Amino acid sequence: MEPYAEVVASYTSFAEEAGDSPCFVEWSLGVAGDPEVQRLIRTLPPVKQQPNLVFAAARWHGTPAPGPYAGLRATLLERWSQVRETILARSTQTNEVGRLATLLPAFATLGDRLHLIEVGASAGLCLYPDTYRHEWVQYDDPTVMHHVGDGPVLTCRVSGPVPFPERMPRVLSRAGIDLNPLDVTDADEMAWLANLVWPEQDARRARLAAAIDVARQDPPNLTRGNLLDALPRLLDRAPDEGSGEKAVTVVFHSAVIAYLEEPDRRRFAALMAGLVAEGRCHWVSNEGPNVLPGVTSTGPAPTRPGFVLGIDGRSVAFTHGHGSTLRWHEPATLDARTVGS
């Protein structure tokens, strides 16, 4: 086996998934063919070797992006101690609110009144689905559009029997868990979030700025801690509804569980299955196909890069990693409302 085979495989795979950024494709393939850079990356803890984090840290220290691989290489070789320090201190907490356009249909199938808990919440920007206008455009007929809500616009192309909400669910409480929660009022932490947006994606940068403005008006309740330990405690503190109106608690996450080691992924899946079975919450997952194989295996096999959207452990749709597409394959029913109730 090559000495840096795992790094080569990781960056080659990322190049295949990063088609939205020609710059990141070039950088990933550059790293995959550069043993000198691979040697540096291999000195990092495995969870810190991910391309997104390495690239973001290099950009933080001056690598022009978009720009050629030579610029990335120069930064890594010449300023490695500084880049390494940033990699070890930071994480890839992208907080892409565009994903909400793919998550809201799942939320809405579960209830009209929601307590939201996000695992891996970062700055908690995705805890505000009710503050956006969601617009869904059919793949086969761009003139057909469904929409709900008011505020900054999130647009998503869709196919299949998507259960479009007729009205925006009411979010009664918002809470999140993260190993390193970010403060939406902290300029440095928000600058790091902006730095994580892929180089060519100006629309995402603008969307992030709008999302930060939204969250600053009513900062979220975020808990620092390991999700496996903190989630059950947070559920124990979930608001108790005193009125006769039914509300449901939804635990959700996007592109988070991939950063756990394999044993912890299995522990998390078992934890969520148990919580759902006990009726303590619903579970909306949005992860790569190989991250939660027990969810992926309940639906058709994915045919292109992206995420698998799951409700209570069942695959219901495929989504684009940043929320631009939603391909629903489950019947658009409200059966999920009865799960765990």
Whether residue 122 sits in one domain with residue 24? no
Residues 6+ apart with CB under 8 A from 191: none
Q: What is this structure's pTM?
A: 0.83
Domain boundary among 25, 59, 89: 89
Q: What is the pLDDT of residue 334?
A: 44
CB neighbourhood size of 271 (10 A): 17
Q: State residue 143's pLDDT score.
A: 81
* Helical pair 69-78 and 35-42, crossing angle rounded to 10 deg: 50
- Choose among 102, 97, 105: nearest CA to 213: 97
Q: Write down the pLDDT at residue 331.
A: 72
- Structure tokens belonging to residue 247: 């509300």
Residues 273 and 140 in one domain: yes
End residue of a domain, out of 38, 54, 89: 89
Do 117 and 74 belong to one domain? no
Q: How many domains does the chain have?
A: 2
Q: Which of 39, 63, 89 is the last residue of a domain?
A: 89
Same domain, 16 and 157: no
Whether residue 121 is found in the same domain as residue 60 = no
| Same domain as 299, residue 179 | yes
Do 162 and 35 belong together in one domain? no
Q: Are 55 and 181 contained in the same domain?
A: no
Q: Which domain holds residue 171?
A: 97-338
First to last CA, the chain: 51
Question: What is the secondary structure of 24-73 as a DSSP string?
Answer: HHHHHHHHHT-HHHHHHHHTS-GGG--HHHHHHHHHHTT--SS--HHHHH
Rounded Cα gap, residues 219 and 231, in angstroms:
20
Residue 335 has what DSSP assignment? G
Q: Are 242 and 101 found together in one domain?
A: yes
pLDDT of residue 305: 85
pLDDT value of position 259: 85
Instruction: Say whether both 113 and 140 belong to one domain.
Output: yes
51 and 199 share a domain? Answer: no
Tens place of pLDDT for every residue, the chain, 341 residues?
Answer: 577 889 999 999 999 888 889 999 999 999 999 999 999 999 999 989 999 999 999 999 999 999 999 999 999 999 999 999 999 999 887 789 999 999 999 999 999 999 999 999 999 999 999 999 999 999 888 888 899 999 999 999 999 999 999 999 999 999 999 998 999 999 999 999 999 999 999 988 999 999 999 999 999 999 999 999 999 999 988 775 544 567 999 999 999 998 899 999 999 999 999 999 999 999 999 999 999 999 999 999 998 889 999 999 999 999 998 899 999 998 754 443 333 32
On whether both 192 and 292 belong to a single domain, the answer is yes
